[in-house]
Amino acid sequence: MNIFSIPYSTKPDYTRPQFQLSSEIEKAIFDCLHKLYGKETAAHWMPELKRIMTVHWAFKPPELIEAERTLNPENRFTEQDIILITYGDLLQGKDSHPLETLANFLNTLPKLREIINTLHILPFFPYSSDRGFSVQDFRAVDPKLGSWQDIEALNGKFQLMFDAVFNHVSAESEAFQEMLNGNPLYEDTFTVYRSPDELTPEQRALIVRPRTSDVLTQFQSIDGPIWVWTTFSPDQIDLNFRNPQVLLYVLETLLIYVRHGADIIRLDAVTYLWEEPGTSCASLEQTHEVVKLFRKVLEVVAPAVAIITETNVPHEENISYFGDGTDEAQMVYNFALPPLVLYTFYRSNTTALSNWAKNLQYPSSTTTFFNILDTHDGIGLMGIKNVLPQAEIDFLIQTARQHGAFISYKTGQSGQEEAYEMNTTWFSALNLGNGTETLTLEVKRYVASRSIALVLRGVPGIYFHGLMGTSNDVAKVLQTKTKRDINRPALVAQDLIEMGQNPKSKVWQITHQFGNLLFLRRQYAAFHPNGRQEILMLAPEVFAVWRVSPNEDQHILTLTNVTNREISLAISLVDLVCMETQWYDLVKQRGWLAKDETLIVNLHPYDVAWLIPFTELEQMVAR
């Protein structure tokens, strides 16, 4: 039985034997609380944490408990996993709710079901700003989108990733408004100052955050003016995790998400979860301890549910959220990948990308990267800090500008503005779209770039607009004055269906070529996240990866020509340690013959080739 298809019960069953926490696990969870709050406070709140876990367990049907016993954490993610990222209302249709339109669209296109097995629905809660990331009620579905029933209906067909936007809450939320009203229940829910001067210039200078606005925002409360910590915007009020009640409320909410069908929990902006004046307030030890606590709780009461951390920071800091490989996130965004791939195509040279990919570390067989190229925000630049020289980052930014990208900034530690993100669709970032190139060439370049996120170890993630090849929506940016809206236009579902049936359309060409790569990837265990990979330096113009299945019984050589020139490769089979004579290109469906221990492969501009030894194909057929 598929563990991800078993729903939770709608009511707790306390007639069954109650949940029992082993002494070893209880101690590990208590140690997390102890490190965060001290021994006395941890002892006070530990019973409440156990109660939350016990309640969650009571919602689990026996068949789910039984299925969890067969779970192999090393196969939590496989080559079958491809995640589609979308807003709940990105598609417009005639249905009563946008979530119904999304479900019907996915059902209308059976080929999508063949290439996508997981949906990341961006925040679908009631919100006041930031396209869903300023949440008013963590435990409700925005009625303009649909209901929990709509979410659960999608869970019957796809695995689901939910956003846990727990760093902050909307200024219009009940909790914040009640704090302003003087309700003592919310007294320590937020970080509040009576004067902005309580946060000294020295303390302010240390704070790292991805914005240029003041970190403190003034509000009028029942007791007069107050200044509240706002990492992102005046409408996004940071929660105070130094209050254990905040942590327990968030943990309970996380488990509610699991009961509604969450298979992956995305910890949004977790970098800034814990504020401690006098520090950077970014990726603090306490933040890592909170992630460890979430992981420990989930491993006990929902072991099939994985955590992914969204930390758009320099690469070394980003991968710290793997912890020791067993105690924090199972998956981490590979934020260095998008700007590096774009840079690779701008320079028509794979050297920087290959050297970086060679050094990627995978700390355990239960962790992996989330390999994205585009997201709902844009192309972050923090991931390549210390990977590319500043002069090359400047080149990347200027070239993206020429392609129509907007640039977003943050305040650096020197107090100067620093480029943080390039706001553009992936298609426009790669293609000028000025009529100087054929659509065929633009699509081929686009698909070649997307293939790189498919061949590297990890789980591919594709933003909906990336799947369709949407171009920049500059008019929307001019209308809303929000740079990120360049990558967030709503689409008419019926129009997409019609374009998907027209071979001359960009949508048809991209979905067929890109969709073919996605379909192929899911068929071959060599692309398993635990499959071995070796980055080959065959030619500066070609990104080459040698993938081997976990069982070592399947080998695929992936080649991506990142230039508009024809390239001929002479590949030494001795160096490859694979003396096969006959090879088959899964993409072009043609054979290649090696001679004198050398495989000669000719690649046209922006060609993608996935070569497998022919004997291995024969073995697959024999099975």
Domain ranges in the chain are: 1-70+247-327, 74-116+125-130+140-147+331-365+367-521, 174-238, 531-622
Task: Specify which of 14-18, 198-202, 412-416, 496-500 reaches the highest per-range mean pLDDT.
Answer: 198-202
pLDDT on residue 336: 97
pLDDT digits (tens, 9 = 90+) for 360-387: 999 999 999 999 999 999 999 999 999 9
**Pick from 109-118, 146-155, 302-311: least confident:** 109-118
pLDDT digits (tens, 9 = 90+) for 216-245: 999 999 999 999 999 999 999 999 999 999
Tokens of 363: 């700390």
pLDDT on residue 390: 97
Does the reported pTM lie above 0.85?
Answer: yes
* Cβ pair 171, 234 in contact under 8 A: yes
Q: Count CA within 13 A, CB hemisphere, residue 451.
A: 29
CATH of 74-116+125-130+140-147+331-365+367-521, one of 3.30.450.40, 3.40.1080.10, 3.20.20.80, 1.10.3720.10: 3.20.20.80
pLDDT on residue 304: 97
Q: Look at residue 413 and give its three-state secondary structure.
A: coil
* pLDDT surpasses 70 at 1: no
DSSP 489: -
The reply to whether 531-622 shares the fold of 74-116+125-130+140-147+331-365+367-521 is no
pLDDT digits (tens, 9 = 90+) for 517-539: 999 999 999 999 999 999 999 99
pLDDT on residue 145: 97
553 is catalytic: no
The domain made up of 531-622 has a fold known as Immunoglobulin-like (2.60.40)
Tokens of 157: 């067909």
> What's the average model confidence in pLDDT over 575-600?
95
d(CA 100, CA 319): 37
pLDDT on residue 138: 99
CATH of 174-238, one of 3.10.20.440, 3.90.400.10, 3.30.465.10, 3.50.50.60: 3.90.400.10
Catalytic residue among 268, 377, 485, 585: 268
Q: What b/e string do you get for 332-366 counting C-beta neighbours within 10 Å, with b at 16 or more?
A: bbbbbbbbbbbbbbbbebbebbbebbeebebebbb
pLDDT digits (tens, 9 = 90+) for 377-422: 999 999 999 999 999 999 999 999 999 999 999 887 777 889 999 9
Please name the residues in contact with 584: beta carbons below 8 A apart, sequence gap of 6 or more: 590, 591, 592, 611, 612, 613, 614, 617
pLDDT on residue 416: 82
Q: Please give the backbone phi and psi of residue 199, each rounded to the nearest 5 degrees, phi first.
A: -95, 105
> What's the average model confidence in pLDDT over 574-601?
95
